[in-house]
Amino acid sequence: MLELEQVCITQRLHNIDLKVGRGQHWHILGENGAGKSTLLQLMAGLLEIPHGHCRLNAHDITDYSLPHLARLRAYHAQQYTLPFDIPAQQYISFYGQRLTAATLPAAIEQALDVAALLPRPLTCLSGGELQRINLTRAIWQVWTAIANAKALLLLDEPLQGLDVRHQLTLMKFVEQLVAAGNTVVLSSHDLNLSARFASHALLLKQGQAVACGNIEQVCTEANLAQAYGLAFDISNNQNALQIQPRWSSATT
């Protein structure tokens, strides 16, 4: 599905190798400034790659036009600015087919709880509500590809600003999309949610890969200590990793 080979961007990413298979759920982990957003922009075809290669479906990402990419992959940015003071449904419709409460797929409505938000002006939404609208925009953009189990979703900190209920419903929705054959790569700061839902992870430290592979192989005490500079306690609870930092002690 998506392959990175020796990707380098000066002072941002260093020799990143990554193979994301169709129907996999990857989380990009690491401290602020580790390179997570840069990596997702690169995967989305929004950054030039001075060294190395990024391939989507065995074709170099630069071979795709942006309109073609927009039908295959969705990109949700960590930060965004409001373009106009317009209703949310009109804003979403700029990025794909027209969306109203009547045409909103039930799966999106249940996951992101946005039906009541669509008629409201963007400037009247809270930060968490606006986050859900932007996630809806990204997902709706590639809904046809999602229906055909061929979509790639690249989500930069999609959990940011969401309350606990909406975090959980979003992650369960992502889980359903992946189970249907779609591919999701997202960045996250919640290690326990990543351990619960991700199938694979890439752990970054200052633009370099600390570990890459199955979530259990990546989220070890040694790897997390190297990436975050903290000691962690890791246990298994109901077949899911439980990760807790040792706040009172620092690693050496």
How far apart CA 48 and CA 75 sit, in angstroms, is 16
How far apart CA 11 and CA 13 sit, in angstroms, is 6
Three-state DSSP at 55 gives strand
47 with 66: CB under 8 angstroms? no
Residues 6+ apart with CB under 8 A from 36: 28, 29, 30, 156, 157, 187, 204
30 with 74: CB under 8 angstroms? no
How far apart CA 106 and CA 165 sit, in angstroms, is 17
224 with 192: CB under 8 angstroms? no
Q: Name the residue among 165, 128, 171 with its Cα closest to residue 153.
A: 171
Write down the pLDDT at residue 83.
Answer: 63
What's domain 2-82+147-250's architecture? 3-Layer(aba) Sandwich (3.40)
Token couple for 75: 């990109």
Q: Tokens 């859900």 label which residue?
A: 132
Write down the pLDDT at residue 222.
Answer: 96
Residue boundaries of the structural domains of the chain:
2-82+147-250
Write down the pLDDT at residue 249.
Answer: 52
Write down the pLDDT at residue 22.
Answer: 95
- Tens place of pLDDT for every residue, the chain, 252 residues? 899 999 999 889 999 999 999 999 999 999 999 999 999 999 999 998 999 999 999 999 999 998 899 999 999 998 877 767 899 999 988 887 787 777 889 999 999 999 999 999 999 999 999 999 999 999 999 999 999 999 999 999 999 999 999 999 999 999 999 999 999 999 999 999 999 999 999 999 999 999 999 999 999 999 999 999 999 999 987 778 899 998 875 444
First-to-last C-alpha distance (Å) of the chain: 39
Identity of the amino acid at 141: Q
Q: Residue ranges of the alpha helices (H) in 77-184?
A: 88-93, 106-112, 127-141, 143-147, 164-179
